[in-house]
Amino acid sequence: MKTGALEAARLVMVRDLRLAFRKPSQLLQPLMFFMIVATLFPLTLTPELSRLRDAAPGVLWVGALLSSLLALEFLFRDDAQDGTLEQFALSGQSLTWMLFAKTCVHWLLTGLPLALSAPIAAVGLGVPAEAMWSVVASLALGGFALSLIGAISAGLTLGARRGGVLLSLLTLPLAVPILVFGADATQRAITGGEIAPPMYLLGAIAVLGMTLAPLAAAAAVRIGLE
């Protein structure tokens, strides 16, 4: 009996989670990078919490973006090298759907841990305790949108040598709206403002990404497999 789409996606997700936990170094690298970047700023800028607080949204979001880029390189690369992506493409299941499942796992393994660990970095940047939930929520939502947009770039750079550099060049311009609205949400959270407007915009980008990014990523992967 042919496997249903939901079960196929579940199997892809379970497989990727199992693989990730057997190679925890790939999981920890972006997280460690984020923590180090966020820690370096207080050491180099100023010890004054009020000034650090002003820089906190930018530091947190640029750190999160660069950390996501580190992990994006691995999103499809290993699967392309060992023939798994070919098997996905020939499985009779929708490649778009399978890649969406993989992208969700990518967010679970990088974007979500990054958002959950952000309060540790945020404390060092003088972010008040009452703003922490908003910081976590905006980074989690923005991280999901970043994973979706990054999936397109990861698909496009599959066949490229030095794909990592090209991936950054493709992803960074597309990630600017996420960075702007995410940093705005964090800034408003710190100053006690209304965070709903930038969060709605981040949500809209995520929904748009969910609709279009897997389709574009699947088309890019098919080209990359040729």
Q: Which residues bind another protein (CB under 8 A)?
A: 1-3, 7-8, 11-12, 14-15, 18-19, 22-23, 82-84, 86-94, 98, 225-226
Residue (121 or 220) nearer to another protein, CB: 220
Q: Which is nearer to another protein, 11 or 215 (CB)?
A: 11
Tracing tokens 């748009």 back to the chain, one arrives at 208
Closest distance of CB 165 from another protein, Å: 26
Nearer to another protein, 82 or 130 (CB): 82
Residue 130 burial (C-beta neighbours within 10 Å; 0-12, 13-18, 19+): exposed
Measured CA to CA, the distance from residue 204 to residue 46 in angstroms comes to: 36
Contact (CB, 8 A) for 64 and 114: yes
Q: Which residues of 97-120 are buried (b: 16+ CB within 10 A; e: fewer)?
A: bbbbbbbbbbbbbbbbbbbebbbe
Burial class for 25, CB neighbours closer than 10 Å (0-12, 13-18, 19+)? exposed
- Beta carbon of residue 156, minimum distance to another protein (angstroms, whole number): 17
In the bound state with another protein, the residue whose beta carbon lies nearer, of 129 and 226, is 226
* Residue 80 Cβ vs another protein, minimum distance, rounded to whole Å: 11
Q: Which two tokens stand for residue 182?
A: 């995410």
User: Residue 90 Cβ, how far from another protein at the closest point, in Å?
Assistant: 5
Q: Which is nearer to another protein, 80 or 195 (CB)?
A: 80
CA distances from 172 to 96, 110, 167, 177, 214 (A): 23, 17, 8, 10, 18
**Residue placing its CB nearer to another protein in the complex, 41 or 88:** 88
Beta carbon of residue 144, minimum distance to another protein (angstroms, whole number): 23
CA distance 43 to 65: 21
Q: In angstroms, what is the minimal distance from the CB of 79 to another protein?
A: 9
In this structure, are residues 59 and 38 in contact, taking their beta carbons and an 8 Å threshold? yes
Compute the distance between CA of residue 66 and CA of residue 213 in angstroms, rounded to an integer: 20
